[in-house]
Amino acid sequence: MNTQNPTTDAAASNLAGRRIVLGLTGSVACYKAAQLCRALVRAGAAVQPVMTEGACRFIAPATLQALSGRAVFVSQWDTRPADGMAHIQLGRAADAIVVAPASADFIAQLAQGRGAELLALLCLARPAERVALLLAPAMNRQMWAHPATQRNVAQVQADGALLLGVAHGAQACGESGDGRMLEAADLLEEVIAHFTPKWLRGQRVLVTAGPTFEAIDPVRGITNLSSGKMGFAIARAAREAGAQVTLVAGPVQLPTPRGVARLDVTSASQMHQCCLDCAGAADIFIATAAVADWRPEQVAAHKIKKTPGGKPPLLSFVECPDILADLAQSARARAGQLYCVGFAAESENLLANAQAKRARKGVPLMVGNLGPATFGRDDNALILVDENGVAELARASKRLLARQLVAEIARRVGAAGAAPEARR
């Protein structure tokens, strides 16, 4: 069994070697900061914890030291730095400062330019042109909604901080609403996205993922083994690269990538209509889904029962709509306004079948893989087939392959942020 976890794959996370100051302020959400610290370290980042005195009331510095492998800084008078200037040295040594949780009081300090404690001081003293400041607010719903807090939030954003937003739900005070700190997994996604080159900034990307399910009766149907993991990884990678992403997902049980708009469908006909509805607002279409080629001509109104000695029902089939071909032959695609990418999941003769499918569908780029070797797995190997020939993307995590594929697509469409050489 493949136990690789793309979320913690340092090569795929874009965080390997990154130096991150993780700041904690006074909030019960400090326990999530411990989870975030662990996730960042597993993703390859070097994490330096800095805590306010209030944060130390909620979680022991020893916890963060154990998780990060680094001594925790609390006091601005800490003499461990050679020059005694922790508020200068810690910020200078970082690639980013992530404050999670960021309390209402701490955000107010930043908005007003006050440095009552070490963490606020190093945020103020950081070289802002190269050290980003990411804030994950955590507070009661009424504190979050208060006009003073919203003014302060607007001010710190105007001053260059990146606000990671808040979650809605139950709060420690017993109330429910906006103000919860995002979960550690969501914050990790935001940090990864921050460090990802914005190859597709300003682009609108439509992605399909997963299988379709073609009903025979109310309880049975025809489907395939596609897990949707590759398509979801591509949607995530496109969003990290700066695109506005819409994901049309077949029946899979996968979490929606943060920042991605998801539309759930079941059948090929539903996916076809959904894609037609969305394609008019897209610049790039990536057809990753394993869509059924055929569906039963008639769907029984009730479960087809087996009778003793009876014969199995005879099923007749009709062809499902061809989503990729229809979009590739649309007026927008012919005018160069919609760049279409297809996927060919084959069981044999991968190159020949991918080349034939590309020609038949009329798309500029066809991505091929061996379905039985990748369905349900966290890794894959791809070939890219275009008018110039074929290129290979060696077996790796789907997360890493998705990032490589997105870079390739950006280069081919001439996106503003695309690297001259996208392949790694």
Token pair belonging to 297: 């001509």
More confident residue, 46 or 375: 46
Is residue 337 helix, strand or coil? coil
Please indicate, yes or no, whether residues 321 and 354 belong to a single structural domain of this protein: yes
Domain boundary, last residue among 195, 215, 249: 195
Residue 12 has pLDDT above 70, yes or no: no
pLDDT in tens, 202-236: 999 999 999 999 999 999 999 999 999 999 999 99
Token pair belonging to 301: 């109104």
Partners of 222 in beta bridges: 214
Please indicate, yes or no, whether residues 178 and 215 belong to a single structural domain of this protein: no
Residue 30 falls in the annotated catalytic set: no
How confident is the model at residue 419, as a pLDDT?
53
| Pick from 9-18, 153-162, 182-191: least confident | 9-18
Please indicate, yes or no, whether residues 66 and 116 belong to a single structural domain of this protein: yes
- Kindly report the CATH number assigned to the domain that includes residue 157: 3.40.50.1950
- What integer is the mean pLDDT of 232-241? 97
Query: pTM for this structure?
Result: 0.88
Q: 374-378 long-range CB contacts below 8 Å, 24 or more apart?
A: 374/230, 374/345, 375/224, 375/225, 375/226, 375/227, 375/345, 376/225, 376/227, 376/229, 377/2, 377/227, 377/229, 378/2, 378/4, 378/5, 378/6, 378/229
- What integer is the mean pLDDT of 16-35? 96
Residue 63: pLDDT band with limits 50, 70, 90 = very high
Residues 6+ apart with CB under 8 A from 342: 287, 324, 328, 357, 358, 361, 363, 365, 366, 367
Please indicate, yes or no, whether residues 162 and 283 belong to a single structural domain of this protein: no
Residue 180: pLDDT band with limits 50, 70, 90 = very high
- Chain-wide mean pLDDT for the chain? 92
Residue 412 has pLDDT above 50, yes or no: yes
Q: Which amino acid is at 82?
A: A
Give residue 26's Cα distance to chain centre. 29
Domain boundary, last residue among 172, 195, 218: 195
Beta strands in 253-293 (DSSP E): 261-264, 284-287
* 97 belongs to a structural domain: yes
Active-site residue, selected from the candidate residues 173, 274, 275, 340: 173
For the chain, the domain total comes to 2
Residue 288 has pLDDT above 50, yes or no: yes
How confident is the model at residue 10, as a pLDDT?
56
Please indicate, yes or no, whether residues 250 and 356 belong to a single structural domain of this protein: yes
Report DSSP letters for 162-211, one per residue: EE---EEEE-TTS-EEEEEPPPHHHHHHHHHHHHS--TTTT-EEEEEESB
- Contact between 48 and 20 (Cβ < 8 Å): yes
Report DSSP letters for 89-151, one per residue: HHHHT-SEEEEEEE-HHHHHHHHHT--SSHHHHHHHHS-TTTSEEEEEE---HHHHHSHHHHH
Which phi and psi (to 5°) does residue 244 adopt? -90, 120
Residue 420: pLDDT band with limits 50, 70, 90 = very low
Residue percentage of the chain with pLDDT more than 70: 95
* 99 belongs to a structural domain: yes
Please indicate, yes or no, whether residues 106 and 161 belong to a single structural domain of this protein: yes
Burial 293-317 (b: 16+ CB within 10 A, else e): eebbeeebeeeeeeeeeeeeeeeee
Residue 8 has pLDDT above 80, yes or no: no
| Pick from 195-204, 232-241, 307-316, 325-334: least confident | 307-316
H helix intervals, 176-334: 184-195, 229-240, 268-279, 323-328, 331-334
Residue 87: pLDDT band with limits 50, 70, 90 = confident
How far is 255 from 338, CA to CA, in rounded Å?
27
Domain span at residue 210 reads: 204-296+316-413
Residue 14: pLDDT band with limits 50, 70, 90 = confident
How far is 34 from 67, CA to CA, in rounded Å?
7
How confident is the model at residue 158, as a pLDDT?
97
